[in-house]
Amino acid sequence: MLDWLNDDQRALRDMAQAFAVKEVEPLAVQIDREEHTPDALIAKAAEVGLFGLYTSADYGGSGADLVSACLVSEEIAKASPAFAGALTVQMVLSPRTVELLGTAEQKQRLLPASASGERVIAYSQSEPAGAANVASHLTKLTPDGNGWRLDGAKLYCTQANAKVVLVMCKTHGRDGKEGYGCIAVDMDRAGVEILPYEHKLGWRGTNTGSINYNNIRIEDDDILGDVLTGGFSHRPANHANVLAHAATSLGCAQGMLDKTLDYVKERRLYGRDMAELQPISYWLAEAHAKLVAGRALLYANARAFDAGAMEPAMGSVCKAWIGDTAFEVCAKLLQMWGGSGIMDATGVNRYMRDAKAKCMAEGASEMHYAIIANQLLHGVGSLVRPAG
């Protein structure tokens, strides 16, 4: 499978696989239990170039394609689906948003530091009114003298401890027009209040937090893209990220399958090998078949994306189907571990918990199915239906 990968893509996949086995796997259970990713791991990830992988070479990255980013996300997720989730934000979503919207000066200011791991950039859209319910979002940017002011509250921001957060918000232009913009907010500004969530079901150690913005001073060069449209006009970054995110779901389920195969091969039940029980061997085969299908779906679309030829709503097909399938696979595989899978000591139930978190992050599955339905029924691969 994936025999069409070129040498660069294969080399990056092999590098990520080796990094995951050597550096991520030994810390994965600790990250989940302690809800903290060690700084040393982040530094090592930066050193091997993971954060700058999908950033262009002009801005300190290695300019790899999305297929490569997905391969890396999948490999890292096999060891730690949580760490892989946070990685996709910094490797794909945030830098690509800046590349699509920013001026040369803004890109030079933000991207090399992001690629080197020195300044994490987070991405924040979700609000209490519903993450995708943009029309009801209340966080707003308004003109204030020769600058601007930002007020509002955002939820569920991955890496809420980042140095910079890209805030999608309602905007009021100087001419009175309203829109939805993208603001790069330095988190050390007065008025920023970060409230971390603790004891999450999954994606532990990714510093998820809600963030309040209380009368934050914003300058013109903090605004990325057009003040009235920047919040919408970086769609390719979102599309790339849903594919990279689907790759983490795939890696999550593959990691669980790999560990379950090892367990089943060792476990004896009723005086014989557990694998001889017919339902067990069927479930393993079924899980494998689903992941093979998911991998074919994902990489065909990542390749099409890189060629500028991905069909409408196919990112949502990948995100929703692979995400939901990964959760189903992980839940079924966990069953094979019996009581030992429920107990903390085996360290595998995190895969099912992380798989569920992945059905929510980067858009709930149902939101993506709504996009697919709009494409099928109205020919519009977005949440917004045509009028009439």
Ligand X SMILES: Cc1cc2nc3c(=O)[nH]c(=O)nc-3n(C[C@H](O)[C@H](O)[C@H](O)COP(=O)(O)OP(=O)(O)OC[C@H]3O[C@@H](n4cnc5c(N)ncnc54)[C@H](O)[C@@H]3O)c2cc1C
Instruction: List residues binding ligand X (CB under 6 A).
Output: 89, 123-126, 130-132, 156-158, 203, 208, 357, 360-364, 366-367, 370, 383
Which residue, 156 or 337, has its beta carbon nearer to ligand X? 156
Distance of closest approach, residue 275 Cβ to ligand X, in angstroms: 34
Q: Which residue's CB is nearer to ligand X, number 331 or number 383?
A: 383
267/360 Cα distance (integer angstroms) = 34
CA 33 → CA 26, 28, 30, 203, distances in Å? 13, 9, 5, 11
Closest separation in Å from C-beta 372 to ligand X = 11
CB of 158 to ligand X, least distance (A): 3
Q: Which is nearer to ligand X, 13 or 358 (CB)?
A: 358
Eight-class DSSP state of 145: T
CA distance 48 to 19: 8
> What is the token pair recorded at 172?
């009021």
Q: Can you tell me the distance from the alpha carbon of 16 to that of 235, in angstroms, rounded to the nearest whole number?
A: 27
Residue 157 or 284: which CB sits closer to ligand X?
A: 157
Residue number with CB closer to ligand X (341 or 363): 363
Q: Which is nearer to ligand X, 12 or 89 (CB)?
A: 89
Q: For the CB of residue 15, give the shortest distance to ligand X in the complex, in Å.
A: 26
Q: Are 94 and 345 in contact (CB under 8 A)?
A: no
- 357 contact partners, CB below 8 Å, separation of at least 6: 82, 85, 200, 201, 202, 203
CB of 81 to ligand X, least distance (A): 11
State the nearest-atom distance from the C-beta of 32 to ligand X, in Å. 13
Supply the minimum distance, in Å, between the C-beta of residue 268 and ligand X. Answer: 38
C-beta closer to ligand X: residue 309 or 387: 387
Taking the C-alpha atoms of residue 242 and residue 240, their distance in angstroms, rounded to an integer, is 6
- DSSP assignment of 265-325 equals HH-EETTEEGGGSHHHHHHHHHHHHHHHHHHHHHHHHHHHHHTT-PPTTHHHHHHHHHHHH
Q: How far is CA 112 from CA 49, 87, 99, 159, in A?
A: 11, 16, 11, 18
